Every structure is written in C-alpha cells, then in structure tokens.
Chain A
C-alpha cells in the first residue's frame, strides 16, 4: 500500500551520492490540477497570517471586558459582536487562533521526530528493540486516544506544557508504526543492500538512505495529525482542562457560548465552531494536496 508512494530516485544517486536521494518538491500550482493543495494552502495560510498579525487586525484586547456592551450583535466597533463579558468576539477569534493553531502545529513536531526515528530503528534493526517498542505501542493504542490524553492532562495539570506532553506520549506511536512499515519495505530493496555490501555504517544508512525514503508517509500523516491536535486542544479547553483562561481559545469560547443557546443566541458557539471546522478542513485539503503532489512525483 505504501510502496507506491516512495520516490524512486534513491537507486539513481548511487551508494552515497552528494545529492540527497530524496527531496521534498511540490507539483507546480499553475497546472491547476492540484486543487486541494491550492484551496487548503490559501485558507490555512490566511488563518496563520491572521493569527500572526492578530494585533494589527483588531484594536481590541481579547481579554478586555466591557459589561455595558455584553452580548451585543455585530456593530461597527465589534464586527462579530461581543460575548457575555463584553469581550470582542473577533479579537478572541484571532488570538484564539494563536493559541490553538500554534499548539496544534508545535505538538506535532516532537512525536514526529521521536516516532520517525524509533520506527526507522525498529524496522531496520528488528530484534528485541523492535519487539519491545511494538508491544509498548500496542499498550498505548489500547487506551482510547481521548481517555489517555485526558488522564495524562489530569496527571500533569492544565496548560500548554501538559497538552504537549500528553499529545507526545500518545502520538509518537502512529509515526513509529508508519515509518517502521515503510522501513521494512525499503530494507529489502537493492540500494540498501548495496549500501551494506559497500561497507557503509548503520547510522549513515539509516539517516541518509532509509529515513529519506520512508518519511513521505509520515509527513502526509502529520497534516492529519495537526487536525487531530486541533480537535484535542479545543475539546480539552471545552472541558476546562486545556488552555487556562483568560487566554483566548476556541474551545473555551464554544463552552462559554453554550449557556446562551437556550436563549436563542447561537453566534457565540457558531463563530468559533466555524473557525475550528475551517481550520481542520483547510488542513485536510492541504494534506491531501501534499499527498497528491508526492504521488504525482512517482
């Protein structure tokens, strides 16, 4: 299933060519065939820019309360209205993107690196290290993702640091499994065997020849992992276990807005809800687009 996605250039570069055997290259956008990449990239890019330049896009402090203007609809001063404490919804949305998207993207890095390295080592060397690691992976996957993350956050306490830690402990498993499976395929290929007969060291083979040929799938998976992380972060905050108020966050906004649903005020839930869905959707498109681009290289 995965072999087809591997770039075929490694054999052409010889045993230890100066050029890296694998390069991350996108298909040109102007051909117009990779519509997912275009849509996902533009929308997610715009959201990231809005988060980065949040202070320039709104005059209001996202935590400043103005009880006289609580629960107001859209006005010139507050284009998306205000919440029950009179805080500007647009500002909270922008600054919420900072915390949610920032943590979601950063939380992918550590599991990605750890899982990829462990997976490559397991697949390449096999033996007791592989057996032990895969049994640990079995145990981690026996816990429902959410149950384990929530338990870990409970043990470590609220806040971004423990969200990072919880996601890392759970997520490395997927990367390790993906890269291990890819490595098992690559390991039997001619170019790795010629590396071995050529007398290259194990470390060099793994870093220069195995990893570059097995990371593609992990990169594609990382995109969907960011989507999953956004889900985890907003859900934790919705439960009151994630980002600590008053730091703005979309999950907290939805949770706060929920008490006004019965009074017919839906905007406080729908606006941050739409932001969550738009972020996830654009990332999914971006991930599909990257997968298409990598497949097209075949």
Chain B
C-alpha cells in the first residue's frame, strides 16, 4: 500500500505542477496584454503601465513564473480587479457553496442511478432497458444549462416547488435552493453511472456467489442488496471519480443559470469583466478539485479492491 501511495502521489505532484504551469502559460504567455484587455482600448497608456506593474507583467517571464509559484505556495492568489479584494477571501466565501452543490449533485446522481440500474439489471432486455436508454441519451445530449432551464420551467415557474434562482439566507433556504441545480448536474452523470452499474450488476447477478446466496435460501431481495448491489457498485465509485470534471463543469454552468453565488459564477463574472487574476485563480481551483477527487477515487478503490494496489 505504501508503494502504491508513493507512486500515486508522485504522479499527482507532477500533474499539479503541470496544471499550475499550464494555467500560468494560458494567462501570461498568450498573445495580447491582460492589462490592456482589462482596462479597455480607451484607457491611458500610464494606467495600463501601472496595472502591468501591479500584476508584475513588466518583469521577465521567468521572474513572473517564479513569483506566481511562490505566491501560490504562500496562499496568495492575487487581488481581484473588479472586486478590489484578495481572491483568497473571495474564494473562501464561495468555495463552500460550490462544494455543497457538487456533494448534493453526487447524492442525487446515486439516488437516481442505483434504483434505475437495479431495475434494468433485474428486468433484462425489454421495455425497461429501452426506456432507460432513451432517457440516458436525452439526458446526455441535453446541455446542462438547458436541463436547468427546463427544470426551472416545470418545478419553479409552474409547480412552485423550488425557487427559480438565488441562494436564500438561512441554511434551510440554501439547501432548498440548491435542489434543482444539484439535480441538473446529477442528470448529466446519471446516464454513464446507470450504464456502468447496470453492466456490473448484470455480471454480479449471473455470478456464482449470487447463485450461492439463492441456494442458501436467502430472500431474493437480500441476495440483491447484500451480494449483487454491494459488489456491483465498486465500479460506480470509479465512474463517479472520473466524472469529477463533469461535476465541476456542471457547477460552473448551473451557478450561472440559477444565480448561485459560488465559484462558477465568480469565474464567469471574472471572464465577462476581463478580470485576469480571478479567471486564473478559479481555473486553478476547479482543476485542484478534480485532481483531489481523482486521488480520493484511486485511494478508495484501492481500499475496496486489494488487486488495484498491485496494478
């Protein structure tokens, strides 16, 4: 296990360095001047020079890279041009909202997928299978913002079950207003999760240990829950991990659709306001979330299945 950990962590360190460098290159080494782009064509040359100096853009690229790395290590993510406040404190306000949204999305994804997959696996080919496949194709082919908008029309504007946007003030209101956004993100992952769970459940149902469970005289429901689902859901953990990027990207989109003050809406505000430090920091944190989820998935998979540690 130690060797496995060391190997995974060193690969992770390499990827993190790559992500940090790629983000730096994106913002610093692309054509055009961020300071000029931020201030617009009408700004005076002296104002642009002042902003370039403030952001350190007047230094050589190597020095900029070094400062970028050292600032990052010390937790300094720069200052937002629009908000005129440190980005670290902006993120501290908004990151928890995004993480809560992602957590709720995962919960909904599992709550929707597991019964669907079990139903189809038990029923086999037929109406149920076709129905779930068509549902999956529709959910997969509908852009996240459109799913969100359709849910708003049905459950917000017509049924009035959930707010059409905003985040509320109390904790209960927060949770209530995150339900539709979380379901929106979840529907993007459900098709793949159902497919993978169905495949592994179908395998499990035909295996010897399930036959053994039946021959012991256990109730079919017990065999299903304790033998088949438990074994079949290991693959679900991996799929959920691989989908971390979809989750994070989904959060970015739904925060805009539902006007939720999370990290995604901060990033989009940064993009529309040409706020380079904010775009740079949010890109980095989104990638950071994905990298951490990949690692956690790897580790939990290794704990669940000892064979993975040797691979």
Contact = CB atoms under 8 A, between A and B. Distances in A.
A148 B283 contact: yes
A71 interface: no
B143 A231 contact: yes
Contacts of B19: 139, 142-143
Given A148-B283, A154-B271, A261 B249 contact: no
A156 B32 CA distance: 9
A53 interface: no
B149 A258 contact: yes
Contacts of A143: 19, 22, 245, 283, 286-287, 290
A151 B246 contact: no
Contacts of B267: 147, 150
A135 B256 contact: no
Contact of B15 (A138, A152, A279, A285): A138
B237 to A, nearest CB: 18
Contacts of B22: 139-140, 143
B283 A284 contact: no
A284 B140 contact: yes
Contacts, number: 128
Interface residues of A, number: 46
A234 B290 CA distance: 24
Q: Which of B26, B144, B272 has the most A CB atoms < 10 Å from its CB?
A: B26
Q: Which of A142, A238, A284 has the most B CB atoms < 10 Å from its CB?
A: A142
Q: Which of B141, B150, B247 has the most A CB atoms < 10 Å from its CB?
A: B141
Nearest to B17: A139
B18 A273 contact: no
A262 interface: yes
Interface residues of B, number: 47
A227 B141 contact: yes
Interface string A230-242: 1100110011110
A276 B146 contact: yes
Contacts of A238: 143, 145
Interface in A126-166: 135-136, 138-148, 150-152, 154-156
B249 to A, nearest CB: 3
A190 B283 CA distance: 46
B18 A136 contact: yes
B145 A280 contact: no
B146 A273 contact: yes
Given A142-B291, A234-B143, A277 B249 contact: no
A4 B145 CA distance: 37
Q: Which of A138, A146, A148 has the most B CB atoms < 10 Å from its CB?
A: A146
A153 B245 CA distance: 18
B252 A150 contact: yes
B205 to A, nearest CB: 20
Contacts of B44: none
B65 to A, nearest CB: 16
Interface string B22-62: 10001100101000000000000000000000000000000
A125 interface: no
B253 A146 contact: yes
Nearest to B282: A147
Interface in B254-297: 256, 267-268, 271-272, 279, 282-283, 286-287, 290-291, 294
Contact of B26 (A135, A151, A234, A277): A151
A205 interface: no
B157 interface: yes
A138 B294 CA distance: 11
A97 interface: no
Nearest to B245: A144
A262 B253 contact: no
A146 B252 contact: yes
A135 B15 contact: yes
Nearest to A154: B271
Contacts of B271: 150-151, 154, 241
A58 B179 CA distance: 42
Contact of B141 (A140, A152, A281): A281
Contacts of A154: 271, 279
Nearest to B274: A154
Interface of B: 11, 14-15, 18-19, 22, 26-27, 30, 32, 137-138, 140-146, 149-150, 152-153, 157, 164, 244-250, 252-253, 256, 267-268, 271-272, 279, 282-283, 286-287, 290-291, 294
Query: Which 10 A-B residue pairings sit nearest by Cβ, starting from the closest?
Result: A280-B141, A146-B249, A139-B18, A144-B248, A144-B249, A144-B245, A231-B143, A147-B286, A284-B137, A154-B271
Given A261-B152, A261-B157, 12 more contacts: A136-B18, A143-B19, A145-B245, A150-B268, A152-B26, A234-B143, A238-B145, A254-B146, A262-B164, A276-B141, A279-B141, A281-B138
